[in-house]
Amino acid sequence: MSVKVLTANRLTDGEAVWLGANGDWLDHIDGALVARHAEAAAALEEAGKAAIRSNLVIDVNVIDVEERGEHLYPVRLRERIRQLGPTVRLDLGKQAEKPAANAA
């Protein structure tokens, strides 16, 4: 079943980030605050609007993810690529920082 998390790009360097349970923006999707029902998703939307006003991040979006064990797996390929980095340059992006499954 798909649930939702809030993602954005960090203002200073444009890096993809996800909203964590403690309100911080995380560099990796695992640990993101998961919305499991409509009210929680609406709260994420509100958090997104507040985040834009706070000028920490830009391009804020609620996205669908699946919970796979301890990991969160974005439903759309676009978001899986954002999560990892270019599939054609495994030496770049977040995939280069820590071992992770290929996006494709």
Partner 1 sequence: MYRYDEFDHAFVSARVEQFKDQVERRLAGELTEEQFRPLRLMNGVYLQLHAYMLRVAIPYGTLSARQMRKLAHIARTYDRGYGHFTTRQNLQYNWPALKDMPKVLDELAEVEMHALQTSGNCIRNVTADHFAGAAADEIADPRPYAEILRQWSSMHPEFSYLPRKFKIAVTGAERDRAAIQVHDIGLHLKKNEAGEIGFAVYVGGGQGRTPMVAKKIRDFLPVEDLLTYTTAIMRVYNLNGRRDNKYKARIKILVHETGTEELTRQVEIEWLALKNSDLKLPQTDVDAIDSYFRPPHLPQRPEGWSALASARKADHAFAAWVDQNVTPHKNPDYGVVTISLKPIGGIPGDATDAQMDLVADIAEQFSQDEIRVSHEQNLILPHVAIADLRIVYDLLLTDGLATANAGLITDIISCPGLDYCALATARSIPVAQRISERFADPARQADIGELKLKISGCINACGHHHVGHIGILGVEKKGEELYQISLGGSGDEICTIGDITGRGFSSEEIVDAIETIVDRYLEVRTDKEETFLAAYRRLGAAPFKDALYSEAANAA
Which tokens sit at 46? Answer: 């509100």
Geometric angle at alpha carbon 8, from 75 and 12, rounded to 5°: 145
Residues that bind partner 1 (CB under 8 A): 9, 11-16, 52, 55, 58-59, 75-78, 81-82, 85-89, 92-93, 104
CB of 82 to partner 1, least distance (A): 5
Q: Considering only CA atoms, which of 78, 50, 51 is closest in space to residue 65?
A: 78
The minimum distance between CB 52 and partner 1, in angstroms, equals 7
Q: Which is nearer to partner 1, 32 or 84 (CB)?
A: 84
HSE (side-chain half, CA atoms, 13 Å) at 63 = 26
Please, what is the minimum distance in Å from the beta carbon of residue 33 to partner 1? 21
The smaller minimum CB distance to partner 1, of residues 21 and 67, is found at 67
17 versus 32: smaller Cβ distance to partner 1: 17
Virtual torsion, Cα 104, 45, 34, 32, nearest 10 deg: 70
